[in-house]
Structure 1
């Protein structure tokens, strides 16, 4: 009888299974160490390879960096941190990262020499994508440094945003905003408010920007109005994204108060007059010239003039404004000027504007009910709060009822018996437009206004000057109504308005002489 071969085969199969099981355990351990814990493979954790013995100058100091990194995370956020990871991120060994570190090290060393920065400071780098600035701070001895970015990567950067920081009030001695992060912020006002909250009194704020026009610089200083300017300088950047850098060194003024009080002071009713700053007046030299000779066909002149207009946002960088606001006074329908002109043609530099539509004719009110980002004020812009009569202009020449409406005039109740030549009058509410403007926007906001109020501009503009609200308007598109030549009847002037073209020209001229960037509108 032949011997059985079943027993050797059974042992062989078991050995193979045991071997495969061991391989599986080793692979599982390797995956845990490298993937889950984030450690490198040179620390005796079942790894079969190790990092090179030599790395470049930046990577060589990683060991020291890791020890100080997590203590900074604990001190900055108030939360305990896990043990420092030993894996060197690939980013830290790249040429670009090393170049950035050398650049920021030089910048920060200069700031130490100027007594703006100290090794004992607690510092924050806002919205830092790579963490090279944080690395540079620690490399030169400012160990209590941390960065925030929407996607954190410890030990250099924790998760957070510039406009929503995960830190206590008055937590940092030094805040750094590099790489043009301020102008890239979607809500600069909230961004500035968070820096004010977390920066200690008399702490320093350093901003790097690529903007190079005076309007931007002044807007930046106004945005961080809780600080005083210590110094500024220009120098070359380290990459193609920002080849030229303008550096602002600001210091928080102790006891100046928060942003809300500053905005209230600039936009409240306590200040009645203002003067347009010189840098805004300089921009008027670049504006298109006013049309001094009365056009025979103003409806054609409008189309030609649109091609000549020098928009403010095409001449300067508007990134440092707290908010962006468009006010359409005499808006009529949603599609008439908000959609057909402002949304399609005005250069907004990718900024999101809050839109206010002021329209007294109730015919158009339903169009605004479900329009996101648009606030309807269903009243008449006026010089005070009172009940008014609104003359509805029904133009039989228009096939659409909508096109013939919204172009009426307003009259105070006490000056009217309730009837006009047209016989179609609505009783409406008028509001103090200048006062509303001062309570809605501030000098830190970017405000664009279009005004088409059927002759009421001769009441509203003087009121804006008297109250100082005119200084809150960055750019004004004004239609001035006069007894112009009629399209239907060549050689005849309209009897609807008593003002002349000369009076309108004087209005535009006075606005520009006062430093207001106004454009002629028809």
Structure 2
């Protein structure tokens, strides 16, 4: 029986040897997948034969586990080869490949599409396109990355008009300071009926989507959806546009007209802003107006400021060309620009152009030393003309009127018996509505604060008449009326003739017309 033990021992030894071999293969598999991202460099022990280590990419680029080669036969540097076969690189390429494959399924992209990837610094997007069969693809970035990416200024691209069928724009739109210039350049190089695809971390609300539609006015938005980002920790929004064959010239103020006449607020509101869903959504979320006249307005209206829902706190304002704040009736720098707008208004890290409109010469000297403030030393009015301007620099300390040096436009024919000659000045008024239309566009984010001592009943109707009202994203309006006086219980201020009811009607008319307006103090 002794000889029978030897075959049994041999079989056991062979079994153990085979198990060891399987273990080695399994260990190598885990190493390749987890450490090398599934690729093998030259000299590595791999499962596939050397004949399968090479793959060809359409469009003149070849790549492989052992080497990568361009169409002219020259071998790419080992550094680039190592980059292209790294786990991080492949993860990014596979993400874009998944995005592009979905676009092919939906017929937004085809293998014959002449394609451009904007600000494709490393070329992940371009390689992904070539791997799925879109041969004619190129990227552009400030620094070239051959053979996938050419060097160029994305705002002045070295391509002819109507060159590409497909343009892909990644996260650069979230970072660029001049999105309107980029949009214009993309519109130039994209063919009519061509497809534009944007990836952005923004665009999650109707307001920002509407801003994108205005920015890319050349195109029609086809769809918008949320997708997972490569790191899976955040979501991205994928937005698809198609360039229209004939670009329609649409009025930038988006006006609608009707025949409603409203003489109770000092003019005719004959125009209304268009009311797309994003505006309706904002107006529904705005703080309610104080319908009942407060007995102590100096307390109630001041407290109401805490209830205001600022527009940048509820929407994404990333896709705007410029950011502009206009203080009409600014008075001193510290009155509202320095104390409120600079410190309290949420800006989403955007830099605002600031305009201070103030006719009272007593404040002009202060603005000369304030950098970044554009002073307009005139009175905002309904036309360009010289007007009487009343200034009271000797404020009654018992008066409920806030501050000192309150200036207001004096109506023609108004009595001047209570004024000293030094309190009435002739100043230059300008057509604020026309100036606004020449200064900003619908592509800009425009915030206006208006404190003009009763002239709002002239100025607001003029803004409606010209359509300039629709250029405002947010309006902070102080309405002046014959309010109860703090100094004298039971007595109203004789300074203004309008009533609180007329003020509420003014605010309601603005909101009903699509304007996000807040009661200001």
Select which of 136, 144, 164 maps to 2:136.
144
Select which of 97, 112, 132 maps to 2:124.
132
Counterpart CA distance in 2 for 1:427 and 1:445 is 34
SS of equivalent to 1:415: coil
Select which of 102, 114, 121 maps to 1:110.
102
SS of equivalent to 1:409: strand
Give the conservation status (yes or no) of the 8 Å contact 1:146–1:158: yes
Partner of 1:436: 435
- Following superposition, the deviation at residue 394 of structure 1 comes to 1.4
Counterpart CA distance in 1 for 2:440 and 2:73 is 46
1:247-270 deviations in whole A, cap 9, x for unaligned?
22212123327xxx66xx415999
- Following superposition, the deviation at residue 456 of structure 1 comes to 0.5
- Following superposition, the deviation at residue 297 of structure 1 comes to 3.2
For the pair 1:421 / 2:419, whether they are aligned, the reply is yes
Give the conservation status (yes or no) of the 8 Å contact 1:84–1:155: no
For the pair 1:516 / 2:515, whether they are aligned, the reply is yes
Select which of 190, 193, 198 maps to 2:184.
193
1:333-374 deviations in whole A, cap 9, x for unaligned?
233212211121111111122222211112222333454443
For the pair 1:319 / 2:311, whether they are aligned, the reply is no
- Following superposition, the deviation at residue 388 of structure 1 comes to 0.7
Counterpart CA distance in 1 for 2:200 and 2:177 is 16
SS of equivalent to 2:504: helix
1:369-399 deviations in whole A, cap 9, x for unaligned?
4544432222211112211111112134579
SS of equivalent to 2:167: strand
**C-alpha distance 160-361 of structure 1, shift in aligned 2 (>3 A):** farther
SS of equivalent to 1:392: strand
1:47-86 deviations in whole A, cap 9, x for unaligned?
xxx95557999x96787589449xxxxxxxxxxx997743
Partner of 2:356: 357
- Following superposition, the deviation at residue 205 of structure 1 comes to 0.7
Partner of 2:387: 388
**Where does the alignment leave 5 or more consecutive residues of structure 2 unmatched?**
1-40, 63-71, 258-269
SS of equivalent to 1:477: strand
Give the conservation status (yes or no) of the 8 Å contact 2:96–2:128: yes
**C-alpha distance 130-307 of structure 1, shift in aligned 2 (>3 A):** farther
1:145-203 deviations in whole A, cap 9, x for unaligned?
22233444333334445444344433322111123x32332222122112112222332
Partner of 1:501: 500
Give the conservation status (yes or no) of the 8 Å contact 2:256–2:274: no
Deviates more, 1:110-119 or 1:151-160: 151-160
Partner of 1:22: none
> 1:155-194 to 2 correspondence within 5 Å?
155-179=147-171, 181-194=172-185
**C-alpha distance 341-173 of structure 1, shift in aligned 2 (>3 A):** same
- Following superposition, the deviation at residue 138 of structure 1 comes to 1.6
Give the conservation status (yes or no) of the 8 Å contact 1:177–1:206: yes
Counterpart CA distance in 2 for 1:505 and 1:268 is 25
Select which of 250, 261, 266 maps to 2:252.
266
SS of equivalent to 2:166: strand
- Following superposition, the deviation at residue 457 of structure 1 comes to 0.6
Counterpart CA distance in 1 for 2:47 and 2:480 is 72
Give the conservation status (yes or no) of the 8 Å contact 1:97–1:130: no
Partner of 1:305: 304
**C-alpha distance 127-500 of structure 1, shift in aligned 2 (>3 A):** same
- Following superposition, the deviation at residue 88 of structure 1 comes to 4.1
SS of equivalent to 2:221: strand
1:108-150 deviations in whole A, cap 9, x for unaligned?
1222233322333332212234432122012122233222334
Partner of 1:213: 205
Counterpart CA distance in 2 for 1:408 and 1:54 is 86
Which TM-score applies when normalising by structure 1? 0.77
**C-alpha distance 398-83 of structure 1, shift in aligned 2 (>3 A):** farther
Counterpart CA distance in 2 for 1:91 and 1:318 is 37
**C-alpha distance 226-171 of structure 1, shift in aligned 2 (>3 A):** same
Partner of 1:121: 113
Give the conservation status (yes or no) of the 8 Å contact 1:183–1:209: yes
**C-alpha distance 269-286 of structure 1, shift in aligned 2 (>3 A):** closer
Give the conservation status (yes or no) of the 8 Å contact 1:170–1:198: yes
**C-alpha distance 155-418 of structure 1, shift in aligned 2 (>3 A):** farther
SS of equivalent to 1:495: coil
Q: Higher helix fraction: Structure 1 or Structure 2? A: 1
Select which of 226, 239, 243 maps to 2:231.
239
Counterpart CA distance in 1 for 2:165 and 2:236 is 23
For the pair 1:410 / 2:401, whether they are aligned, the reply is no
Give the conservation status (yes or no) of the 8 Å contact 1:389–1:425: yes
Number of residue pairs the alignment of both structures matches: 450
- Following superposition, the deviation at residue 490 of structure 1 comes to 4.3
Counterpart CA distance in 2 for 1:511 and 1:214 is 21
- Following superposition, the deviation at residue 215 of structure 1 comes to 1.3
